[in-house]
Amino acid sequence: MQFKTLADVDVRGKRVVVREDLNVPMKAGRIADDTRLVAALETLRYLRDRGAKTIVVSHLGRPDGKVVPALSLRPVAEELHRRLGSTVAFAPDCVGPAAAEAVAALENGDVLVLENLRFHAEEEDNDPQFAQQLAALGDLYVNDAFGTAHRAHASTEGIARDLPAVAGFLMQKELEALGRLTNDPRHPFVCAIGGAKVKDKVGVFVALLERVDGFVVGGGMANTFLAARGVDVGSSLRDSDLEPAKHIIALADEKGVPIHLPTDAVVSTAFDADENATVVPIDAVDGRMILDIGPETAQAYALVLRGAQTIVFNGPMGVYEKAAYQSGTRTIGEAIAEATKAGADSVVGGGDAAAAAHALGFADAMTHVSTGGGATLEFLEGKTLPGVAALERAALGAGA
């Protein structure tokens, strides 16, 4: 990948349109998880400290092209003000007179947040005229939103056709960290993968089969693989169609890549019957529901992970949100942390994996925790991300 970064350009006095992913979860008008906001701070501080006129654009939620007050970015702007320790202005629209007036009032070093991009349907339609309206606000475009890089939207792809474009520091870190997994990983390379469904990650499995030395599998995904191997998983969550899992198993066997599956599990009579949680061998589920890998499995997985030089953690091993079913994910998280301390390169693959790593306290021990969800999966699959392709195109075209 060839793209320019913030370090390649002089931003002083320039109006810089920065695409951040500030799509933070909100509860009762307050930010419930500030992970994405915190991840954006390095780029925003750099621009502020070097005298740029910083114009932050982002989406929040899915307003479907309508103005939804509950999805306003105003609370996000207020939290950025607190985090940056300097004034952060807010404009009630991202295009039109309100946005233009707010931009015109900026002095060097000022920061401005524009209202939710998705209040305009043209954003997700990648409408050229809307992209040009956004571009008219700035002299330079910085894409720092890896989490939306897999979307060809006006603020991620279209705007880069009308302004010089470079990557922000978060985008740069994401591409470098994930690039190490796909280009030249150190071996042994192990993928700890979980989540609900095999069918959602077939592309990731197939792509990683070309690179990894083994998988350790948990979550509903493990249930599907077990069922595909003829194990009775009772009332556990699993894919109804077992063919994708059988296909992956056949490919893995052909390539000699082991797919490690649970030998024991934490089961219960129902999802909410935590008091009935018990550990059983994997062949003794007896109609119950598997909600976590068992301790024998967790220790076996930990042994595999501690011997790895490259690790990607791409999903929890069980229902980690509940105390009764978080031991499996915690054990492998601790094993990955040990491997990282010993020199391994560890990447947490965004989405549920990142949420689990933060919730169980091992995120800070990882080499990199991705802010992407779908973008991370598509990158690992080898797909072209429109937001990244736009930066590569800009690097080959007119310079910034």
Strand partners, 346: 311
Q: How far apart are CA 10 and CA 349, in angstroms?
A: 32
Q: How far apart are CA 90 and CA 107, in angstroms?
A: 14
383 is catalytic: no
Q: Which residues contact 279 (CB under 8 A, 6 or more apart)?
A: 264, 265, 266, 267, 294, 295
Contact predicate 351/369, CB 8 Å: no
Q: Which residues contact 340 (CB under 8 A, 6 or more apart)?
A: 311, 346, 365, 366, 367
Active-site pick, 4, 15, 53, 197: 197
Supply the DSSP string of 136-202, one letter for each residue.
TT-SEEEE--GGGTTS--IIIIIGGGTS-EEE-HHHHHHHHHHHHHHSS--SSEEEEE-SS-SGGGH
Contact predicate 79/23, CB 8 Å: no
Active-site pick, 294, 351, 373, 387: 351
Active-site pick, 36, 48, 53, 238: 36
399 is catalytic: no
197 is catalytic: yes
How far from 94 is each of 17, 60, 389, CA to CA, in Å?
A: 11, 13, 24
Q: Which of 39, 27, 30, 32 is nearest to 363 (CA)?
A: 39
- The pairing of beta strand 53-57 with beta strand 264-268: unpaired
12 is catalytic: no
Active-site pick, 51, 65, 307, 374: 374
Q: Known catalytic residues?
A: 36, 197, 351, 374
